[in-house]
Chains A and B, each alone.
Chain A
Amino acid sequence: MKNNQSIKKSSKKNIRIIPRLDIKGPNVVKGINLEGLRVVGDPVELAYKYYNDGADEILYLDIVASLYQRNFDFDLLKSVSKKIFVPTTVGGGIRSLNDITNALRAGADKIAINTYAVHHPEFIAEAVHKFGSQCIALSVEAKKTNDGHWETYTDGGREKTDIDSIEWIKKSISLGVGEIIITSIDQDGAKRGFNLELTNKVIAISPVPVIVCGGAGSLDSVKKMVETCHPEAISAASVFHYRDYSISDLKRYLKQNGYNVRL
């Protein structure tokens, strides 16, 4: 297991900056600690704006599909994808290989799965076998428990599972998942900084790239997470949706501080 020192020395890869769009019906919404459905914008407009501003990817998640037990809206995804020429990772209520095929035919380039995979881990292996590891990302929403572990939540952060997030991530990797998207429920939407402990833990055990989500606050808080944890990618929502700063602001800031980003 490489220690953080050697990672620091050799990490010259571009850190990906990925705006996250939480989709509910026709809107982009944003909660805090995965609660609240405040409308913050239009999916087509926001995706395009972020693409133009240098987003390396778009993370597009229907955050109520599992909760409302309804299907993903592929038509909306098509509308959003028409003007976007960077990769889109799509998730939310993905429950079958058919859903994945449909998503790929509607604008998705990578797929994120959470709720369904938690209840049917074998789905990961099936999806990987058909679409390849690099197409399948595991989205994990984790909350710290009283005894210092991390617990996995599903259904838009509302259903407790008693499943240890770190163990679950390890398992999903053994099943072939190609990327991990880790969201800290405790930090989500609060703009107080990422959860460094959780981030470090996940990166330490993951041989596949990790996208870190949940808590982006000041430019400095993002830099702090990068220098402590060295993630492959950073995802943020509130700071972009509420226009605290732009994607290009963040990229320039990281570059100025010695980190490689695509400019």
Chain B
Amino acid sequence: MVKMVTTYGLPTKVVYCKKCVISNQRPNSTVEFKSTGKIKKTTIGFGKDGVCDACRFADYKVTKIDWEKREKELIALCNKYRRNDGYYDCIIPGSGGKDSGFTAHILKNKYGMNPLTVTWAPHLYTEIGWNNQMSWIQVGGFDNILFTPNGIVHRLLTKLAFENLLHPFQPFIIGQRLIAPKLALLYNIPLIFYGENQAEYGNRFEENDIPTMNEEFFAHRITLNNLYLGGISAKTLVREKKIAITDLNPYLPIPYSEIKKHHIKVHYLGYYLKWDPQENYYYSVENTGFVANNQRTEGSYSKYSSIDDKIDPFHYYTTLIKFGIGRATYDASQEIRNGKITREEGVALVRRYDQEFPAKYFKEFLEYIDINENTFWKHIDSGRSSHLWKKRAGKWRLSHRVS
């Protein structure tokens, strides 16, 4: 095990990208069911010029990619899988947000596919989230399967994930990544379309050149012995938390052998079409009845990004605690890279909103994971790395801020 000076083994010196407002503390995507919380996190790469990998990719996206060629590849892919016998030819996971609104609608209407949309339910639906889910189906016009996991198990895993990993959103992330491949197997629809590759936001640059998702995010060769959920091994969960192994079904990755046998493939639409979240917003409003939130989300300025789960703000808040970067940083960085706002504007927004506490659903969150406020703050404070947070006059403050 690596000896870590900082929590999660993050870079000791905080550096901000010269183009966007993300810092070098930003963690890359993890294979969640291997996470024990004691693993050193890989973080976003920075070039010698001080520019982060995500910005490098954004530049590459605009200057180097032949989008006409990529679209031709999409058309070929669609031609290969398209079914005209009335059965579904692809699965599109989503929630009726702006991105899945765009993905489903354009694949159906422009590229002639017959999608089955699939939703892994939010922990706790917001009103706007539910309305957008319904609009997706009723205005956008898609068949949809909504999978809601066993509430008792889901809450327990969320609680454990919060307590052990300060990562309450883990059960959602795991479930959401698995639902499409699982239903693909179940219904024999091997092609799955996601929106954008997370590599756009700073995972390994090379990952962007591949149209498909790395299978290790939803498949496994591991046994139940080294499978972890909520930071606890599956064996311990069954033994000590009185969860039946069958209750863990929605969170268990799929055997590689099954993936291979049925040729399950996850493709990123963002590989084939130039991904622009803001344009997805306009598209979804015009085509699938998407409605932005009436007010900005706590911790950010955005009204259209990720507005369907009351727990979601706590995902970003714990990200702020663990890595010193909050929701506004993520939203602003994306908009800077896509040319919607300038870095200066992003800095102003991050300074204004990044550290805002998500008070609106706090009570519900505490109830959901069944802890009291004191315990909540105990866990939060234990997740603050000393290289990021200092306590002054009884208050925790970030040692760095973007400029």
**Which A residues form the contact surface with B (CB < 8 A)?**
25, 32-38, 64, 67-70, 143, 153, 157-160, 185, 189-190
Residues of B near A64 (CB, < 8 A) are 345
B348, CB-defined interface residue at 8 Å = yes
For B320-361 the 0/1 string (1 means CB < 8 A from A) is: 000000000000000100001110010011001000000000
Contact status of A25 and B292, CB under 8 A, knowing A35-B304, A190-B285:
no
Smallest Cβ distance from A262 to chain B, in angstroms? 33
Known: A36-B304, A37-B278. A143 touches B345 (CB 8 A): no
Q: Chain A contacts of B294 at CB under 8 A?
A: 143, 153, 160, 185
User: Given A38-B278, A38-B282, A190-B285, A33 and B295 touching (CB < 8 A)?
Assistant: no
Q: Which residues of A contact B335 (CB under 8 A)?
A: 37
Given A33-B292, A34-B303, A37-B340, output 13 extra A-B contacts at Cβ < 8 Å: A32-B281, A33-B285, A35-B303, A37-B335, A37-B341, A38-B279, A64-B345, A68-B348, A69-B348, A70-B348, A153-B295, A158-B295, A158-B301
List chain B residues, Cβ under 8 A from A157. Answer: 303
Question: Taking CB as reference atom, which chain B residue is nearest A156?
Answer: B301
The answer to whether A158 and B278 have CB atoms under 8 Å apart is no
Minimum CB–CB distance from A108 to chain B (whole Å) comes to 23
Confirm or deny: B296 has a beta carbon within 8 angstroms of a beta carbon on chain A.
Answer: yes
B259 interface residue per 8 A CB criterion: no
Docked Cα-Cα span, A68 to B285, in Å, equals: 25
| Candidate in A34, A38, A160 with the most chain B CB atoms within 10 angstroms | A38
Main SS of the interface on chain A? loop
A70 to B345, CA, bound (A): 9
CB neighbours of B55 from chain A (8 A): none
Chain A CB within 8 A of B369 CB: no
The 3 closest A-B pairs by CB, nearest first: A158-B296, A35-B292, A160-B295
Residues of A within 8 A of B279 (CB): 38
- How many Å lie between the Cα of A161 and that of B304 in the bound state? 19
A36 touching B282 by the CB < 8 A rule?
yes
In B251-308, the 8 Å CB interface with A consists of 278-279, 281-282, 285, 291-292, 294-296, 301-304
Q: Is the CB of B295 within 8 A of A32?
A: no
A185 surroundings in chain B (CB, below 8 A):
294
Q: For A32, give the chain B residue with the smallest CB separation.
A: B285
- Taken together as a complex, chains A and B put the C-alpha atoms of A69 and B350 apart, in Å, by 12
User: Separation in Å of the B113 CB from the closest CB of chain A?
Assistant: 26
Is the CB–CB distance between B278 and A33 below 8 Å? no
Q: Could you pull out 10 A-B pairs where Cβ atoms are within 8 angstroms?
A: A32-B281, A32-B292, A33-B292, A35-B303, A37-B340, A38-B279, A143-B294, A158-B295, A158-B301, A160-B294
Q: Pick the contact of B281: A36, A68, A158 (CB < 8 A).
A: A36
Instruction: Check A159 against B348 for contact (C-beta < 8 Å).
Output: no
> Are A69 and B295 in contact, with the CB atoms below 8 A?
no
Closest to B335 in A: A37
Contacts A33-B291, A37-B340, A158-B295 given; does A67 touch B301 at CB 8 Å: yes
Please tell me if the beta carbons of A69 and B352 are within 8 angstroms of each other in the complex. yes
Q: Are B278 and A36 in contact, with the CB atoms below 8 A? A: yes
Question: Which of B292, B335, B348 neighbours the largest number of chain A CB atoms within 10 Å of its CB?
Answer: B292
Tell me which residues across on chain B come within 8 A of A67, comparing CB atoms. Answer: 301, 349
From residue A71, how far is it (CB to closest CB) to chain B in Å? 12
Max chain A Cβ within 10 angstroms of own Cβ: one of B296, B304, B335 = B296
Cβ distance A104 to chain B, nearest Cβ, rounded Å: 27
Name the A residues within 8 Å of B352 (CB-CB): 69
How far is B348's CA from A37's CA once the two chains are assembled, in angstroms? 16
* Shortest Cβ distance from residue B42 to the other chain A in the assembled complex, whole angstroms: 32
Neighbouring A residues of B349 by C-beta, 8 Å: 67-68
In the complex, what distance in Å separates the CA atom of A258 from the CA atom of B282?
Answer: 35
B304 — which chain A residues lie within 8 A by C-beta?
Answer: 35-36
Contacts of A160 in B (CB 8 A): 294-295
A159's partner among B291, B295, B302, B345 (CB-CB below 8 A) is B295
Query: Which residue on chain A has the smallest CB distance to residue B285?
Result: A32
A192 to B294, CA, bound (A): 18
Tell me the complex Cα distance, A256–B159, Å. 66
